[in-house]
Amino acid sequence: MIVEATATGAGTFYHGLYGGAVSQRRAHGKNRGAVGEQLLDPFGNEDAVHTFRSWIDFGGKLEVDLGFGRGGFLVEQASRTRESRWVGFEVRTRLCMEVMDRLNRQGISNVRIIQADARPIVDQFFPVGSISHFYVGFPDPWWKKKHHKRRIFSPEFVHTLHSKLTATGSVILRTDVTDYAQNVREVFNAHGGFDTQVVTPDELVPTDRERRCADFGLPVSRLRFTKKGCL
């Protein structure tokens, strides 16, 4: 069963994100065929939040990958931690379908994929204090100053992430853009609700891009922003 779902008012949420309104976002394409219950395409069903929460409330740690790309980290980490529930966000249909195929071939059932920009979804889909970790691997730095508003770590979204984390939860960033890493650090520091630590390479399964950076000898910044507690 495919769950064709959305939070109420998706048109309002998506306007201005990733190039404009919902119709433009859908240019990435609809998912193909019946792929099982693991893929949520969050448009058109007011029961989406209830359907999703019935799964995440089942038990176990909840981990969220924001923009999984080719899915190397998500698939491998979910395979290693079958006791946890994993949610992956990605806007590109082709990548969602490729990762779904890999999950099905490997019999990995503790993952749900949401084909959407996470920013307008996270607040409604996840209960307060429910998520152990958010992972963000190599997000678009949006180089031009006029595009900085499109960066994932806006002050508003950082506030949302803080509210959704457990008491000891964290947001983990990996990027190969040093200036962008510093910008993200400043946004989290300005929030005031996080402690910042450097993550060593051996603490995490590498992403596909991280492996390519290693092949070419390119430096990668790895930062963990751990929740201090309620403000």
Distances (CA, A) of 169 to 112, 166, 224: 20, 5, 10
Conformational region of residue 20, where left means phi above 0, alpha means psi within -120 to 50, and beta covers everything else? left
Residue 18: pLDDT over 60: no
Q: pTM for the full model?
A: 0.81
Q: What is the CATH number of the domain that holds 67?
A: 3.40.50.150
pLDDT in tens, 172-183: 999 999 999 999
- Total domain count for the chain? 1
pLDDT of 42 reads: 61
* Partners of residue 194 on adjacent β-strands: 227
- Does residue 65 have an active-site annotation? no
Catalytic residue, from 47, 65, 117, 140: name it: 140
How far the first Cα of the chain sits from its last, in Å, is: 41
d(C-alpha 143, C-alpha 137), whole Å:
17
Which residues are 222's β-sheet partners? Answer: 174
**For residues 97 and 46, which has the higher predicted lDDT (pLDDT)?**
97
Which of 90-99, 179-188, 199-208: highest mean pLDDT? 179-188
Report, as an integer, the average pLDDT of 3-28. 32
Lowest mean pLDDT among 30-34, 99-103, 127-131: 30-34
Q: Determine the pLDDT at residue 58.
A: 65
pLDDT value at 38 more than 70: no
Q: What are the start-end ranges of the H helices in the chain?
A: 10-14, 22-25, 48-56, 72-80, 93-106, 122-125, 155-164, 178-191, 208-216
The predicted pLDDT at position 172 comes to 98
Task: Name the residue range of residue 103's domain.
Answer: 3-227
- 59-63, 74-78, 79-83: which range is least confident on average? 59-63
Query: 174-185 burial by CB neighbour count: b if 16+ within 10 A, else e?
Result: bbbbeebbeebb
